[in-house]
Amino acid sequence: MRTWWKGVLGNAGYWVNEFLKWGYNDSAFDQQLEAFLAKVQNDEVLKSELILALNYIAVANVAKKAGY
């Protein structure tokens, strides 16, 4: 039986998307990370891929596939 925290809320990609919705902006971000986050905001396919990312490595793989 899946519990709520093992579903979408447990996905690293979900939290990347939520992080963007909160509008967090820090000038200390790496430029490459800033560019990736900007692309995520405008790319629905990339957002969908991130939703499926279950951990840091999966998020990193999505970013690598997107050219980051």
> Which pTM was predicted?
0.62
Say if CB 19 and CB 38 are below 8 A apart: no
| 45-64: pLDDT as tens digits | 998 998 888 877 888 889 89
CA 23 and chain centroid, separation: 13
- Range 2-11 average pLDDT: 55
Rounded CA-CA distance 28/31 in Å is 9
The domains of the chain are located at 4-66
Contacts of residue 55, Cβ cutoff 8 Å, sequence gap at least 6: 12
Q: For residue 60, give the H/E element and its range.
A: helix 56-65
Question: Residue with structure tokens 């039986």?
Answer: 1
